Structure 1
């Protein structure tokens, strides 16, 4: 989707399509409503009943996802990458990409594909990853074994996040060269206080 009132456009991955996240994203970046991912439910530590979606399953048999569940293979990732490629072709070009939680993990993978020149359709100038992490699925190691990603990135995570603990988000930082971080004292959400908004704005100004 394209930003409605911003000088840059943005593909963003909608993993938690709750009203809270929608309000935060709209407030921060002036984003239009996003199409939901079609890959099935994502498990959270909170056990809430929000309309949650995912980009791949870590438990193939149960068709569920847990960011801390180690697995040899997953289900749905390649289809999700194709979904993003289709969106880029049909709705792009875009300057940047934003993802939340499992969506941020997917953003890191897409950036790795771009860095390794494996996907000609991806030409993102920046990435914003909120509550991101490295996938612990063995099948996904290839995304972290290449050169450091040089796409400018902003990594946002909460010190009290019980779904994606802070250390998991920090483990993703070495995959990016010169990663910028925004740490907030809260949990698993997109921070939208005035000081946080200023950080987003300052980051995006580089790409005007």
Structure 2
């Protein structure tokens, strides 16, 4: 049985993301998913930040944010959260240190084999993986001079990106070696493919899989089976969920060219809060 720490995306929370990947959880018979909440609660004003981009996508920020506010009032479990709040230029991640301490507490409570993150959670998963390899970068992360947890055996980053913040500079200088599966959506307009590739540059031990869908965890049958197999045995050789190609996990390399018959669909919805990560 593998135990996996799960980090939700921006504007989601543990309950929301757990439901979003319900089909994957059912597929994973030998994996325990542990979902935790990000510490920063988003307000309606946080959900309206890029009206020009929203208009391009045919969305109205005011309506979406108002709907989110009403939903939260009727059901607290829908409270949108974030691991940090970015500035307009995406050169700072405000509140990142607080989130690191939240993860530290989770790591002290139990042993995790790996970490699984989506969107901002995927970006944060890479930060945590890198920090466990070089914990001296942030002394408050240490416990009696030692890291709170061994380095992860693996990391899964779906729609991930490289966090740009001075805090992360020393982490990215060395990069990180935790074996990482990067899942990228070819039509993702929230975290575009080029942005995900920046994370690949600092991920030294990687496998890359692409799907034709957008900003969500792919949930078609081949993808569920592939992710379940990877999470249960990340060091094994698993057939790619796209194109029928085989990319040995042991090599952690090779980008698969997707084919139409495996175009992925998912339950993730595009909301204003997901547009600026």
Bin for the TM-score computed over the shorter chain? 0.7 to 0.9
The equivalences for 1:25-174 within 5 A come to 25-29=24-28, 34-41=35-42, 43=47, 47=61, 48=64, 49=68, 51-59=79-87, 69-71=89-91, 73-90=92-109, 92-118=110-136, 119=142, 120-123=147-150, 124-146=152-174, 148-174=175-201
Task: Write the distance in 2 (CA, Å) between the matches of 1:28 and 1:12.
Answer: 16
TM-score scaled to structure 2, two decimals? Answer: 0.61
User: How many residues of Structure 1 are paired with residues of Structure 2 in the alignment?
Assistant: 191
Q: CA deviation at 1:36?
A: 2.5
- What is the RMSD computed on CA atoms of the aligned residues? 2.6
Structure 2 stretches of 5 or more lacking a match?
Answer: 69-77, 137-141, 237-277
TM-score scaled to structure 1, two decimals? Answer: 0.79
One of 221, 228, 234 as aligned partner of 1:201: 228
Q: Which has the larger radius of gyration?
A: 2
Normalized per residue, the structure richer in helix is: 2
Normalized per residue, the structure richer in strand is: 2
Task: Write the distance in 1 (CA, Å) between the matches of 2:93 and 2:33.
Answer: 31
Would the aligned equivalents of 1:40 and 1:55 in 2 still touch at CA under 8 Å? no
Would the aligned equivalents of 2:116 and 2:157 in 1 still touch at CA under 8 Å? yes
Change (3 A) 1:21 1:84: same
Would the aligned equivalents of 2:24 and 2:228 in 1 still touch at CA under 8 Å? no
Would the aligned equivalents of 2:133 and 2:176 in 1 still touch at CA under 8 Å? yes
